[in-house]
Structure 1
């Protein structure tokens, strides 16, 4: 369990896997104690334990015993209060669900990553765990600093696999964008769009690791599923703007400074990964790119570090306006007047 929980970068610094909190204890929740309680419930039950297992595997409804302190991975199992009154409802869960989740979490063995260069600092990496999402508003800057820790993009697959196959997947199993491992949430979304994921994974189940019930307790909040496109997908459009996104001004959660460049664009990319055929999201993304570039052009400090948005392929326009009106075609023609490119595939032309 230590390998999946703690990474020692140097003698004086240890990094904990956010899935396990700190040292196997998430606030007041001790994973080992919950494991023992779940195991005892199964040992003492005779008929019920098979019903609990059927629910975990096949969603066959049945009554559950009370298993406290397991809300870190199952938020619906938390105690739910009634609008600040003393009335509350205890959360219930199948003990098998917790035990199987723990077995899976133990496969999240981390390692030490290091960028090129002799002076580069080492950092801890854990499979399929990303940075926290960029804030979408000024209010979310404070939330990102206090409440949001990271995201976990749990890989899912639709065929039986042995424990050796699953362990191998997690050992080498980082989603990739080109030759680089995905780090930010939008990079995981791009890897899903471009099939930059190990074979056999049809999608991700996305969780945001954040505080809800206590400032000392991090919990996994479900945030939707994302399917992976096939390798014959010809709409690999998003990777062309990734380097541009990396050079955008970042939001500083420490001094609560909100610039609002990365967050809205990242949100559009993730929504495109969920619904690639939704032309309205493509339109919004193009408008976000345009507005961001306008703000960069009007600020000398931004221009010193950021790049100009690259020319977009004509497929961008086709995805955003599959049936363009005459007004949109006129706007496209006007926009193409100042475009300079040596390739016939760039848009606007």
Structure 2
């Protein structure tokens, strides 16, 4: 798994982002904190890039920028006053036009306030802009276009012609707004549908905002522009703002429902905010073109750090958003100063891979970050979703933030990519309309848990346990729903042993669940694995076993399920002619865990949720060791547990010798689970033990104070052999032969 070439940035800068500067780089730089440039909303992020780009290209080529907390810091030879004077007196706007759009100012019925102001200004700062507008107008005249082209073929000709004739400084914008290379133009979500969104044309509004700042001679029109600029840089409120369109970039700045239809009015907009925001979209241009030339498809997936929307992992998004969402973007935040050239290269080369494949959606992006980690200066990604809100309006909604660091727990998720990409198949199936609501809910919860794990939760054990439990529920739903089972084709992939190690929270519940999930029939007896009594799978677990009749794990509570599994295990062992009891496990519980279970001091619901999922895991061998902690165990349990312990274990403990077998009396389990026959069951067990010459405790004459169902269920729990041996010997059971060696 990994993020690809952009991590090192070595081809273009010789050192990672924020690395030691070359010797000829100026060392005395002013650090200017730009409080108006924050990671969210998207408008403020783009504004930061716009300021860095314009300063580097037009004033100080060695300027650098980085993120410090919630603020962008510009490192430059300019001081704050000089920075302000640069924008007021010297800034030369990028020629940003969109003559392919209606409302762009190029057609008779368009608002021409902005384009007329630029065309009529004699100021040198607008000369490139005037030339670009003139070239575009000539192209429209030659094509006899008096309105934006509606025909796809005609629009394609216009775009191709403009692409060939416009100057380079105008092409950067065009490349950011439109991807050419396939049958139809593609529109990266950052700039709507080719530089407009609904009735809001970004380019026309850009020119209108310029007209509000500069008079016909290119000078600042009034005292307002300077105050607005100071507000844009600092983030402080400014007076005399007008109600203007802001579009998708700042959800908090969009007008309310009474402002206008959609979001094209009703918000107070600082002209400098809008201008610098649009200027900040240009660094994404080169990547869009280059990736489109290479791939020739899927514009959203060709745009840097842009993937399909995932409606999970954030309270601001839902699966229902995916159908109407344009995409989502993951924008990098870096802590060490980097030049604009480095940032532009990052944007142009930005590509993220999971394994060897490019990521396709937000969940895969999160997994890729967590699986590899980055040490090249990028600390964090801010995730934005272009979601439909406010009627039919798209808004760049901030979703969440992901720290970039190696996450060994998230790497476990690669197990779910086995079996021809099982996880992706599950996610696709869950989004089909005909699938049950239960599957959709489980998959949404699963994706949320994967996001939480990938995001670097403080305690990774909680989301890991959640993922394990949900996989178990999904596996059981497949058993219950032929439609789901057929669509998924295969069961949940087998999960590696590290899942248990990383998810272990040290609780009695987890020890009980993992020991029970690890039950098997003995060496070479995989047909009696615990998972086969929960869902109908083959012994290896890689396929469904449609002929299985062993599934007994159903609704009705933990204890009843454990008793049902115990009964079916014993029944199958007898049918298979096994000489020993099929109650082996790779992991064992402590007696105090059993005592907690018997006395209802554990969370049954947690155990019941974990067992089906842990049954999908390759349970690792218990590390060994026992506790000296005293456990108050009911006498009935002590008497019964040897009967429900594998004979091989009893031999190691010394209670059996040679080829002795301590068989479970016929009908014992049925008697024990019924309060009315519990005492007779206990006597049957005591006689069986004494028949083997074992010293046993006195006869139990009453079931008073005994939760017989819970006691019977506890007999399935694998117990540390050393602790079990000690318990039995302390109440008078004498080993037939002393044997110092035990299994733990």
Q: TM-score, normalised to structure 1's length?
A: 0.79
Change (3 A) 1:144 1:223: same
Give the Cα separation in 1 of the matches to 2:221 and 2:201. 23
| Helix, strand or coil at the partner of 1:280 | helix
Give the Cα separation in 2 of the matches to 1:90 and 1:299. 51
Trace 1:17-56 onto structure 2 (pairs within 5 A): 17-43=188-214, 44=220, 49-56=225-232
Aligned to 2:477: 295
1:169 aligns with 2:169: no
Q: CA deviation at 1:29?
A: 1.0
Whether the 8 Å CA contact 1:56–1:94 is kept in 2: the answer is yes
1:101 aligns with 2:249: no
Give the Cα separation in 2 of the matches to 1:170 and 1:268. 29
Deviations 1:74-124 (A, max 9, x none): 11111124799xxxx943344333333322322333233888xxxxx8432
Give the Cα separation in 1 of the matches to 2:240 and 2:618. 58
Q: Quick check: 98-107 or 161-170, which moved more?
A: 98-107
Aligned to 1:248: 426
Deviations 1:129-182 (A, max 9, x none): 11121579xx9665433x322211112222332222112111110222223222
Trace 1:1-349 onto structure 2 (pairs within 5 A): 1-11=173-183, 13-43=184-214, 44=220, 49-63=225-239, 65-66=241-242, 68-81=244-257, 90-109=266-285, 110=288, 111-112=291-292, 122-124=297-299, 125-134=302-311, 143-145=321-323, 147-195=324-372, 199-215=376-392, 217-230=393-406, 233-235=407-409, 236-242=411-417, 243-248=421-426, 250=428, 259-260=439-440, 262-278=443-459, 279-300=461-482, 302-304=484-486, 305-322=488-505, 324-337=506-519, 338=529, 347-349=618-620
Aligned to 2:550: none
Whether the 8 Å CA contact 1:42–1:49 is kept in 2: the answer is yes
Whether the 8 Å CA contact 1:67–1:95 is kept in 2: the answer is no
Whether the 8 Å CA contact 2:403–2:455 is kept in 1: the answer is yes
Whether the 8 Å CA contact 1:134–1:262 is kept in 2: the answer is no
Give the Cα separation in 2 of the matches to 1:93 and 1:135. 31
Structure 2 residues not aligned, in runs of 5+: 1-172, 215-219, 520-528, 532-539, 542-585, 587-616, 621-744
Give the Cα separation in 2 of the matches to 1:49 and 1:83. 25
Give the Cα separation in 1 of the matches to 2:455 and 2:176. 29
Give the Cα separation in 1 of the matches to 2:382 and 2:363. 14
Give the Cα separation in 1 of the matches to 2:346 and 2:197. 26
Change (3 A) 1:175 1:249: closer
Normalized per residue, the structure richer in helix is 2
Whether the 8 Å CA contact 1:193–1:229 is kept in 2: the answer is yes
Give the Cα separation in 1 of the matches to 2:498 and 2:412. 8
Give the Cα separation in 1 of the matches to 2:270 and 2:398. 18
Whether the 8 Å CA contact 1:192–1:203 is kept in 2: the answer is no
Whether the 8 Å CA contact 1:113–1:123 is kept in 2: the answer is no
How well do the aligned residues superpose, as a CA RMSD in angstroms?
A: 3.5
Give the Cα separation in 1 of the matches to 2:176 and 2:434. 32
Higher relative contact order (CA 8 A, sep 6+): 1
| Helix, strand or coil at the partner of 1:79 | coil
Q: CA deviation at 1:316?
A: 3.0
Whether the 8 Å CA contact 1:227–1:273 is kept in 2: the answer is no
Q: TM-score, normalised to structure 2's length?
A: 0.40
Give the Cα separation in 1 of the matches to 2:485 and 2:251. 44
Change (3 A) 1:281 1:36: same
Change (3 A) 1:297 1:171: farther
Give the Cα separation in 1 of the matches to 2:432 and 2:513. 41
Deviations 1:221-245 (A, max 9, x none): 1112111114xx4332223324321
Q: CA deviation at 1:25?
A: 1.3
Q: CA deviation at 1:64?
A: 6.5
Q: Number of residues paired by the alignment?
A: 329
Give the Cα separation in 2 of the matches to 1:95 and 1:320. 52
Q: CA deviation at 1:290?
A: 1.6
Q: Quick check: 310-319 or 99-108, which moved more?
A: 310-319
Structure 1 residues not aligned, in runs of 5+: 116-120
| Helix, strand or coil at the partner of 1:164 | helix
Q: Quick check: 147-156 or 104-113, which moved more?
A: 104-113
Q: Quick check: 36-45 or 283-292, which moved more?
A: 36-45
Normalized per residue, the structure richer in strand is 1
Aligned to 2:54: none
